[in-house]
Amino acid sequence: AILSLSLLVCVEGESKPRSSKAVWNIGLCSASFDYFPAVETWLSEVAGPQFDPPINFTATKMNPFNPLIVNGLGTGLFDMVFCFATIAACAEAEHLASPLVVLNNKRAGIMADEMGAVLVVRNDSGINSLSDLKGRIVQAPSVFGSVFQAVWLEMREQGLSLMNDPAMIQFTGHPKLEPVVMEVVARRIDAGIVRTTTLEHMQLHKESHPGFDISDLKVLNLVTQGMRGAEIEPLSSTYFYPEWSLVALPSVDSDVRRAVVSALQSIKETDYPAVHGNFSGFAPPLSFAQFRDMQLRLGILKQLNGPRMECIKDKNEYEAISCPEGYFKKTAEEEANSCQQLGLDCPADMARCICSPCVKVSELEMFAMSNMSSGACTRMRNCDVIRQREVATFVVLAQNQRRNTSWTWAVIDTHLQERQSTAFLGGSMTQNESNPDMHYFNLSVNYRGTHIISVFADGIEVPFSPVLLQVVAAECSEPNTVPNLVGLCEGAENTVWIGGHYVPLSTVLVGVFIPLLALVCLGVYLLFRHKMHKADSQWMIKEDELSYGTSPEILGQGTFGLVVKASYRGTNVAVKRILPSLDRAHNYSKFRMAIRMSEAAFMSPQTTMDNRFDRSGTAEQFPGIEGSHQPMHDYSARGGGGG
C-alpha cells in the first residue's frame, strides 16, 4: 500500500503541466472594491501550484479610463485583463481576447453577474423623463465607461442625444460613483449616471453618506426587464450587460486558462477574496455581442479593414464624441471652447466637460471649419476670413442626396486691379470616410480682397452658392517685415537687409552717423592740437633744439645777461642768456660750463668782440647790444643771469 501511494505521488508529480511563462501579468481596473486578492493572491496560491514548476500571477492596478489598460494586451504588458464591460469588449474586439469568467457581484443583498446604468435625479428637480435633460447638467465617470454608453444608446433609441441635449456633461475621470450621487443630492448637478445597485448600497450604508436618502431621489427611464439570477430587482435605466469579466489573450496557455477558471470559480462567498471584493464568486462568462453592437452603433468601436476592429480610447474625449443624425461635430478647438462660449464653467476637479459639441445642419449646407460656430454659409455672404496663403477648409453636408454625386468647387480670384487678370482655382471635393454625406475641400488664396467660392453638384451650382471669402494680409513673424502683394514677407519700407534680418534705415543711419560723428570730432580735435602745437612751436623755443656749435660765439653782453649766437631749426638766432635764479641752478651750471669752455677763445687777441663783429656782422644787426665789451669771465664773475 505504501509503495502504491508512492507511485501515485510520483505519477501525480509527473502529470503536472508546464507553463510557457513563470509569471502571468494581469491588468486590473481600479474600483471602489478591492479585487486584487482574487486576481493575484488567490490565483498564485491556488492555480500556481498546479504547474511544475509553480507559476505566479501579478496584477497591476490602473485607471480603467487609461488607454494603456487595453493597449497593454497588444504590447505584451498584460496577458489578461479584469475590468468592466467596455474594456473587456474592446479587448475582445481588438486583440481577440476571450472571456474566462464573469464576476458574480454582491451589493446591498443583490447578487448578479449582470449590471446596468442608472440615471438619477432629485424628486424636486422637475425632471421626469430623458427628454427633460435638455439644457441640464449631467455628471458621469467617463465617456468610455459602460454606464455612460448604456444611457447614451438608450437616449439615442428615443431620438434624443445625450451628447448634445444637456447644457453640460461633466466627467469625473475616476470610477468612484458615490460622489456623483452626492452631487445630485447637493443640487450642484441636475442628473448623475451611475451603475446599478449604487443607490441601494448607499442606502444600506447611509451613515457613510450624510444627507443621502434614497427617497429624495428618482430614477429616470426605469426598466423592469429583470436581471438574470437576481432575487431582488435593482433600479436601472437601461438594459443589462455582463458584469466585470476576466479576458485572456489567445497566447495564454490552455492549461493556464483552465487552472485560472477553476481557481476563480472555487472562491466561496466566505473566502477572503470575496470578502475584500464584496462579491459572491465567479460564474461562466457571458457574451459581449450585444454590448459590442452598442459600441459599434455609438461609434466607440470601429470596423477596420477585414475582421479587425478598434476602440476609441483616447484620453481626449473629443475623439469619442459622435453626433446624432442631422448634426455634425464641431472642430476640436471650437468644442474645447463651447462651455466658455455658453457661459458655463467646468469645475476644477472635473477631468473633462462637454457642452453642445454638435451643430444641426439642413439637407444641404456648407461650413467653414474655422468658423463653424457662426453657422452655415449663405449665398453672397461672407463665409470665412483667412489670411494670405493660409489654408482654409470648407465642409459641404449633403444629407439625403445621391451618394454618387460629383461635388466640385471653384474660386474666382477677382483682385484685378493688381493682377490685371483673373485666376481660377478649383477641383473635386473629398468624401469623409466615416460620414458619406460629408465632403470637404481645402483652398489657399494669395491675394487680399473678397473672392467668390462656387459649389457644384454634378456641374450644377447648388442653392447656397456662391459665397464670399475675405482674404486679409498675411502675418509676418520676422520683425520689420510686411506681406507683399502675394502674401510673402519682405522688408518694410525704409528697411535694409543686414546680417540675415531687415533693419530700419533709421537704426542704420544712427549706427553709422554716431561713429562718423565721433571720427569727425576726433579729427577736428587732432587738427586743433596740431595747429596749437604748430603755433606753440613758433613762440615757444625748446632749449634742447638750440645749437651753439663747438665754439659758442658771443655777440654781446649787458648788465643782466649775455647775447650768444645760436642755430634754431636751421636759422641763426641771437640768444640772450639771463643769469639763472636759484631755482634754476641746474640750468645755470650747464650754461656757465659752456661759457667757460669758450673763454680761452674769447680772450685771444685775435678774437676780440670787434673782430667778431667784423666777421659776423655789425652791431646794428643785433639791436640792444651795447658797444662796450668785457671779457666773458668778467661777466660770469658778476653772476649774470641766463635765459
200-206 mean pLDDT: 92
CA–CA gap between residue 263 and residue 265 (Å, rounded) = 6
What integer pLDDT is reported at residue 624 of this predicted model?
40
Q: What's the confidence (pLDDT) of residue 609? A: 40
Query: CB–CB of 572/579 below 8 Å?
Result: no
**Per-residue pLDDT tens over the stretch 288-308:** 888 989 988 888 888 777 777
Q: What is the mean pLDDT of residues 606-626?
A: 40
Q: Which pLDDT does position 596 carry in this prediction?
A: 60
C-alpha cell at 437: 454625406
pLDDT recorded at residue 437? 80
What pTM does this model have?
0.59
Q: What is the pLDDT of residues 249-285, one digit of tens each?
A: 999 999 999 999 999 999 999 999 999 998 999 999 9
Mean pLDDT of 622-628: 40
| 444-495 residue pLDDT tens | 888 888 888 999 887 878 888 899 988 999 888 888 888 888 888 888 888 8
- The whole-angstrom separation of Cα 639 and Cα 562 is 11
Higher pLDDT, 16 or 315: 16
Q: Is 576 annotated as a binding residue?
A: yes
Q: Is the model more confident about 269 or about 541? A: 269
In this structure, are residues 127 and 133 in contact, taking their beta carbons and an 8 Å threshold? yes
Structure confidence at residue 150 (pLDDT): 94
Look up residue 584 and give its three cell numbers.
634754476
CB 512 within 8 A of CB 504: no
Choose between 196 and 630: higher pLDDT. 196
Question: With pLDDT > 90 as the criterion, what percentage of the chain qualifies?
Answer: 36
pLDDT surpassing 70 at residue 78: yes
Higher-confidence residue of 581 and 358: namely 358
CB atoms within 10 A of CB 201: 21
Question: Sorting pLDDT into bands at 50, 70 and 90, what band is 360?
Answer: confident
Q: Given a cut of 60, is residue 636 above it in pLDDT?
A: no
Work out the widest C-alpha separation in the chain, in whole angstroms: 171
Model confidence at 627, pLDDT cuts 50, 70, 90, reads very low
Neighbours of 55 (CB within 10 A): 24
Stronger pLDDT, 446 or 313, i.e. the higher one: 446
Per-residue model confidence as pLDDT tens digits over 393-418? 999 888 655 567 788 999 875 554 44
What was the pLDDT predicted at 613?
39
Least confident of 202-216, 308-322, 445-459: 308-322
The confidence band for 581, taking pLDDT boundaries of 50, 70 and 90, is: low
User: Of 174-178, 265-269, 584-588, where does mean pLDDT reach its minimum?
Assistant: 584-588
> Which of 13-27, 39-53, 468-482, 490-504 is most confident?
39-53
State the amino acid at position 614 in one-letter form: D
Q: What is the mean pLDDT of residues 529-552?
A: 75
How confident is residue 643, by pLDDT bands cut at 50, 70 and 90? very low
Among 166, 173, 143, which Cα is nearest to 295's? 143
Q: What is the C-alpha separation between 78 and 98, in angstroms, rounded?
A: 14
Cα–Cα dist 266/281, whole Å: 8
CA distance 557 to 578: 10
Q: How far apart are CA 528 and CA 536, in angstroms?
A: 12
Query: Which has the closest alpha carbon to 193: 151, 235, 248, 241?
Result: 151
Which has the higher per-residue pLDDT, 320 or 283? Answer: 283
pLDDT value at residue 180 = 97
Cell of 68: 494603456
At residue 531, the pLDDT reads 82
Higher pLDDT, 152 or 535: 152
CA triple 24-26-32, angle to 5 deg: 150
- CA 631 → CA 554, 623, 635, distances in Å? 10, 20, 7
Alpha-carbon dihedral angle through residues 43, 45, 47, 51, given to the nearest 10 degrees: 140
Burial class (CB in 10 A: 0-12, 13-18, 19+), 241: buried
What was the pLDDT predicted at 6?
Answer: 38
Cell readout for 472 is 486679409
The whole-angstrom separation of Cα 47 and Cα 246 is 15
| pLDDT band for position 432 (cuts 50, 70, 90) | confident
Radius of gyration of the chain (CA): 53
Q: Residue 640 to residues 144, 564, 580, 612: CA-CA distances in angstroms?
A: 122, 13, 8, 22
More reliable by pLDDT, 111 or 205: 205
Mean pLDDT over residues 316-325, rounded?
78
- If we measure between CA atoms, which residue out of 172, 193, 169, 173 comes closest to residue 181? 193
* Average pLDDT for 16-38: 91
Would the pLDDT of 420 be above 60? no
Q: Check: CB of residue 89 under 8 Å from CB of residue 145.
A: no
The overall average pLDDT reported for the chain is: 81
At 107-155, the pLDDT tens digits run: 877 888 899 999 999 999 999 999 999 999 999 999 988 999 999 999 9
